[in-house]
Amino acid sequence: MMKKEKFILILLTVILIPLLSGCKGEKEGNGNQIRSSGGTSGIKYSKNFSIEYKDGYKVVTVYTPDEKHSLVFRYILVPRGNKAPAGYEGAMVVNTPVKSVVSLSSLYIGFLDKLNLAGSIIAVDKFRYVISPDVQNLIKEGKITEAGESFSLNIEKIMQLNPELVLTFGTGNPAVDGNPMLVKSGIHIASSTIHLESSPLARAEWIKFVAAFFDKDAEADSIFNGLALRYEKLASLTKNIASRPTVFTEALFGGMWYEPGGNSYMAKYLNDAGADYLWKDDPSSGSLKLTFEQVYARAHNADFWINVPFWKNLGDALKNDPRNADFKAYRNKNIYNYSLKMNDAGFFEYWENGIINCDFVLSDLIKIFHPRLLPDYKMTYYKKLEER
């Protein structure tokens, strides 16, 4: 797949798809935490999933990301060798801890890597999307194979691998989001709705969803709690800031400009970073489909321009559309992209682990808009675009 085609997938999963302290426990001999029955995982930011700890099993539920908060799908996670509980018709029973997984999105690599579970990955969608050094090494050792992308999966290969779990995304219902042949074969598929969340911390909290299948609940709680604490502390730096520079995002793609809605996770990032996002008052969580003229009318005098797809220098702005030279942010060279770190194939690290490192993403944005607040910080994902 070409980079442009990959970017289409990213737009669909991150931008374009519209908005559709747990209990302490004892440890087993293998080191996995067993929680007290009747507790919950303490999901704080995401409203799209929950984890309940019952007597000897876990119930993971995915909900619709709307006001109805309807049930989408339910997983019953049962320790290996134990009998599945009754009373959960239609739910998927998965034995834990899962030992082998196929990741059909690079964002799961970010989660699995953070949980020290790279060794459980036996296949990814495409090698060229991988950033993680640990996963790259496993690929070189022949321990991870390619499974293909969602629209061109190598079904035969996946069936041969017989993974205990396949991680994908979409509506949150594996029967809808998974390949019909895999669903029919009985291979367990877990699907998230990370892309439908409206805040950075809600997106990051899905590490708990992933961790539950591997009995890494305690590790996920520790990782996330530290992350949330750092994020909220950073956001407090700009809470009462008087001067907020104006900013807009994205660029023309396929003849249209997909600007994040005012209730999107990116709008939340920009507000927490002390910026005045020009579409902050829009109520949508998805993306606004705009023309160049509509964007220019509002953003031609904006102070900053960020998140420009695949641009590596200012020359790319003119290749995208010569009219981009008329934006004040272009003339003042105030264009930033998350292109500081990439692999040899040109895919950005931000896409793989930016979700679970949202505190670093926020630090980068604060550094861009208010550098004096973080004088000694070196950016992790973003960089200022130069002439060449």
Residue 31's nearest CA partner among 161, 169, 216, 201 is 216
pLDDT at 367 over 60: yes
DSSP 61: E
Phi-psi region of 370 (alpha: psi -120 to 50; beta: other; left: phi over 0): beta
In tens, the pLDDT along 54-70 reads 999 999 999 998 888 89
| Domains, the chain | 32-231 (3.40.50.1980), 240-384 (3.40.50.1980)
- Buried b / exposed e across 237-251, counting CB within 10 Å, b at 16+? bbeeeeebbbbbbbb
Task: Determine the 3-state secondary structure of 68 from DSSP.
Answer: coil
Spatial contact of 11 and 253, defined as CB atoms under 8 Å apart = yes
Q: Which of 40-44, 209-213, 320-324 has the lowest mean pLDDT?
A: 40-44
Which pLDDT score is estimated for 31? 33
Q: Is 118 in contact with 135 (CB distance < 8 Å)?
A: yes
**Residue 335 pLDDT > 80:** yes
Q: Beta strand 92-96 with 71-79: parallel, antiparallel or unpaired?
A: parallel
293-304 pLDDT, tens digit each? 999 999 999 999
Residues 6 or more apart whose CB falls under 8 angstroms from that of 170 comprise 176, 177, 191, 193
**What mean pLDDT is predicted for residues 43-57?**
95
